[in-house]
Amino acid sequence: MNAVIFKDSREADLLPFSDERAKHLREVLKAEDGAEVYVGIAGGDLGVARLVKTEAGYVFARPWRIVGNPKGVNICLCVAYARPQITKRVLFDAASMGVRYIYFYPSEKSFAAYAKSSLFAGGLWRDSCIAGLAQGCRTDMPKVDFFESLEEMADSVLKLNLPSPRALIAPDLYEATVDIKGAFSVPGAGRARSAVFVLGSERGFSAADRNFLRSRGFVLASLGGGVLRTDTAAACCSFSAGLFLED
C-alpha cells in the first residue's frame, strides 16, 4: 500500500485503528504522529496529508496538499468472465496501472455462473479496484461495466472517449497474425494513441469469437509462446500499452 485510498469523503474523516490500512501504516510503514502520507478518495483528489493520531484512530489533517495522479494508460480492457480470484487480480492490477476502462462480458467458452458471483452482483469488485489504487498511489478509478454478450460489448467500445487512432487487439495464442508490438500500428494512421483489448475466457476464444472479432476489425496478436492466465495476460496488455502507445 503506497497511499491510503478511501471510497468516499465520509470514510476519509477517520481511519479506525482496527482497519487493515491503519495496521499497515503503524506496523509496515512505521508512520508516526505528524508524518506525511499519501491519501485520496477513489475517483477524487490525491493528496499529501499530515497524520494525526487520536483515541479513535488516524485523522488526515485537512487541507490536503493536492498532487497529480501518475500517468494512466488510454485503454479499455475487455475480459471474459473468469473465476472470482482471477478477476480480483485483473481489477487490482488494472487499477494500479491506471487503465481507464475495464469491461466484462460472457464469451462462448466462459462459465455463465462466474457472472453471478457476489464479486459482481454485490459490487465487491470496487474493493479490488480501490486496493489497486492504493498500490499505484493514484485515485483515477477505472470505469467498470458489464455486458450480456460479446456483441453488446463490441458496440459499446465504439462509443468510448479514447484518443484516435485506436488499436483493436485480441490476444490469441493459436491464430495470431502479428506480435503485440506490431498490433499497435493502425493501417493508414500510424502508431495508435489508445487501444481496446479483448481477452477470451480461461479456455480461450471459440472459432465464432475469433470470426466476430475479425469482422469488427480486431487483430489477433501474440503475447508470446506460452499459455497465460487471464490475469497475467491482462497485466501484459496494460504494460504493453504503456510501452507502445504513441504519447
The CATH code of the domain that includes 236 is: 3.40.1280.10
The answer to whether residues 30 and 86 touch, using CB atoms and an 8 Å cutoff, is no
pLDDT (0 to 100) of residue 235: 94
Question: Side chain identity at 159, as an amino acid letter?
Answer: K
Q: Which of 196, 142, 151, 136 is nearest to 169 (CA)?
A: 196
What is the Cβ-side half-sphere exposure of residue 104, based on CA atoms within 13 angstroms? 28
* Residue 13 shares a structural domain with residue 80: no
Name the residue with cell 498490433: 183
Chosen domain end from 67, 90, 120: 67
* Residue 18 shares a structural domain with residue 81: no
pLDDT (0 to 100) of residue 40: 95
* Residue 78 shares a structural domain with residue 30: no
DSSP per position, 73-114: EEEEEEEE---HHHHHHHHHHHHHHTEEEEEEE--TTS-GGG
- What would you measure as the largest C-alpha separation in the chain, in angstroms? 64
* Residue 27 shares a structural domain with residue 108: no
Chosen domain end from 41, 67, 93: 67
C-alpha cell, 59: 485523522
Number of domains in the chain: 2
What domain range is 136 assigned to? Answer: 73-244
* Residue 127 shares a structural domain with residue 25: no
* Residue 55 shares a structural domain with residue 79: no
Q: Would you write out the chain's pLDDT as a tens digit for each of its 247 residues?
A: 889 999 998 999 999 999 999 999 989 988 888 899 999 999 999 999 999 999 899 999 999 999 989 999 999 999 999 888 999 999 999 999 999 999 999 887 777 777 777 787 777 899 999 999 999 999 999 999 999 899 999 999 988 989 999 999 999 989 999 999 999 998 888 999 999 999 988 788 899 999 999 999 999 999 887 888 899 999 999 999 999 998 8
Entry pTM: 0.91
* Residue 51 shares a structural domain with residue 160: no
* Residue 15 shares a structural domain with residue 87: no
* Residue 25 shares a structural domain with residue 93: no
Chosen domain end from 67, 83, 106: 67
